Each structure stands twice: as C-alpha cells, then as structure tokens.
Amino acid sequence: MNQIDYLRISLIDRCNFRCSYCMPEGEELNYILRQELLTQGELLTLLKEVFIPLGFRKFRLTGGEPLLRPGVVDLIKTIASLPATADLAMTTNGFLLAQMAEELYHAGLRRINISLDSLDPKTFDLIIGNRGKSRWEQTWAGITAAHKVGFDPLKLNVVVIPGFNDGEVLALAALTIERNWHIRFIEFMPIGNHNLFGSCAWIPSEELRQQIRGKWGLIESAVRGNGPADVFKIPGAKGTLGFISQMSECFCDRCNRVRLSADGLLRPCLLNETGEIDLKTSLRSGVSTLELREMVRELLMIKPEINFKQRDAGTVTGVYTRTMSQIGG
C-alpha cells in the first residue's frame, strides 16, 4: 500500500475566476460562510495534532483561489516552519502573484503550480469566464514574477479541452524548451454541469504525447514529482512535460493524498465521497485530537478500496455533490 503522506488543503472556496471546468456556468454557487471555514488555529491544530503524527509531511494549499484567504502569508510561514514539513506547495490561478510572489517566497513557499490553460488572451478569458478586460496579461505577469523570485520548480497546469485549447498543445509544450518550467497537461474531469464541452469532454494524454513526439521527440524525464504525473521532456529542453491522465490511465493505485476542504471535510478521493469525515464539526464539538487522529487513521485504512473509477460501475452515488472549487481539487 502507498504511504499516504500528502495533504491537499483548501483554504477557501471562493475564486476571482470562474473556470468552466471548476465552477460550471449556470450552476448556483453556495459559498461557505466565513464562520464555517476552518480558522487558522483549527487548521494548524489539525496539522500538528492529527495529520503530522500520522506521517503527513507534504502539504499543498489550494482553493478556490488560496491567495484570497486572509492571512495566507502568515499561515505559509507557520506551516513552512514546522519541523515535520518536508514539502509545502501552492496551486493558484496566478492573478494576484505579481504583487504577492516575493512575500510568499520569503514566507517559505518554494513550489508553486499556476493554472494557464491558454496562451491566447481570448481563449483564456473564455475558459475563465471573464467578460470584462482581459485577465491574461496580469496572469502572465504573475507567472514571470514567480519565475523571477526563484520558485523552482515552477509548474503550469493546463486542462486540455477539446475545441478550446487543444490546438495549443505544441505552443504550451514549447515553453519548456528554453525555460526550466514544468508544464502539466491534465485530462478534463467531468465534475458538475459541463454542457459547454459537448459529449467528448477529454482527450487522452497519449494523443497529446503523440503530437509532441511528432514535432520534437519525447523522452522520459529523470525529474519526478510528488503527484500522479507521468513526466517526460523534449530532448535538450530545460523543463519537463507532465501528463495527468486520470480519465484514460487511472492512477488510483499510486495515489498518496487526501483532501481537506475549506470547511473541514476530509475526503479520501477527489471524485468519491465514500468515507468522507467532518473534522471541523468534530473539533468544534469537543472531540479530542486523539480521537480525531483515530478517525483519520481509519479513513486511511480504507482509502486503497476507494477510487473515482467506481463511478463507472455505478457503485458510487452522490459523487458530484460539490464542484471542483468546493472540493479543493
């Protein structure tokens, strides 16, 4: 059994973008009330008294958009300073990074993933649901600011959507040739109402690899990540290309993570609520951290039996009760 030592922590379910694959258009979003969010103190109690004693050493801060969370810099500083923290990373849309990259780096954050689904401003704005002034330039400024500050590795996450950005695969892959950037192509996951994308909502990673092989060639990379990506590189390139193939090449058997939502729900699998436990309510009702630790330990014991592919067999119900932003994907 894989050692489960990686906790994805959603800090907030709100976001300043409304990406179609994360917050589907037409769906009413019921945001978590501020008082229902885990407080900084509660989160740190769970880390120090529950997760770290169970062997968790890798933490990723997500959202919504984590940079919207008040006090995020101080929280990073505290988590980074914990002796047990072996790895601390963040996933962000990059829109606020231009003004925040330096203080995040000085707080102790060293790894960052930035969502960038298109190099074309019009396509980018369409995907993020923006109808006003283009947000592409400020997002790109955030990426370059993070690079300048020294984030390494700097990863760019690309959700590949047929008919929208699938024609940009080569242009995005080319970013790795002269820069030590790591592009991660992610198969789209059908969470929520995605009529926008029609019946064919995802492209197998192998099709993307074939495109890249045909242009430059493709070799396996010695650089490995903490996650499920299969990592390759263009021969001679400074950066790498990762493929996260949750739809075509199920990686549940090597999953080493669980997810904590902004309101304290611990979920063993992104697309499967089986076994989900409410840590915040238990903590606020006076359940001891020792008891909470045992609750989490039991969840970890059943995690190998839980995977999102069970939905294909019709054995899981209620899988999509939350959008990606609410889960903290």
Contact residues for 205 (Cβ-Cβ < 8 A; gap 6+): 185, 187, 230, 243, 244, 245, 248, 249
Q: Three-state SS for 135?
A: coil
For residue 174, count other CB atoms closer than 10 A to its CB: 18
166: left (phi over 0), alpha (psi -120 to 50) or beta: alpha
Find out whether 118 is annotated in a ligand binding site.
no
Find out whether 324 is annotated in a ligand binding site.
no
Find out whether 311 is annotated in a ligand binding site.
no
Find out whether 6 is annotated in a ligand binding site.
no
| Selection from 193, 15, 203 nearest residue 92 by Cα | 15
The residue whose two tokens read 């950037």 is 181
The residue whose two tokens read 């400074």 is 238
Find out whether 252 is annotated in a ligand binding site.
yes
Find out whether 250 is annotated in a ligand binding site.
no
Taking the C-alpha atoms of residue 79 and residue 46, their distance in angstroms, rounded to an integer, is 12
Find out whether 22 is annotated in a ligand binding site.
yes
Q: Three-state SS for 115?
A: strand
Q: Three-state SS for 267?
A: strand
| Per-residue three-class SS string for 181-231 | EEEEEEECCCCCCCHHHCCCCCCCHHHHHHHHHHHCCCEECCCCCCCCCEE
Q: What share of the chain is helix, strand, coil (3-state, %, to 5)?
A: 40, 15, 45
298 Cα distance to chain centroid: 25
Whether the Cβ atoms of residue 180 and residue 153 lie closer than 8 Å to each other: yes
Find out whether 21 is annotated in a ligand binding site.
yes
Find out whether 200 is annotated in a ligand binding site.
no
Find out whether 60 is annotated in a ligand binding site.
yes
| Selection from 64, 54, 69, 65 nearest residue 5 by Cα | 54
Find out whether 105 is annotated in a ligand binding site.
no
Find out whether 64 is annotated in a ligand binding site.
yes
Whether the Cβ atoms of residue 16 and residue 329 lie closer than 8 Å to each other: no
Find out whether 254 is annotated in a ligand binding site.
no
- Residues comprising the binding site for GTP? 8, 60, 91, 155, 257-259
- Residues comprising the binding site for S-adenosyl-L-methionine? 21, 64, 115, 189
- Residues comprising the binding site? 8, 15, 19, 21-22, 60, 64, 91, 115, 155, 189, 252, 255, 257-259, 269
- Residues comprising the binding site for [4Fe-4S] cluster? 15, 19, 22, 252, 255, 269
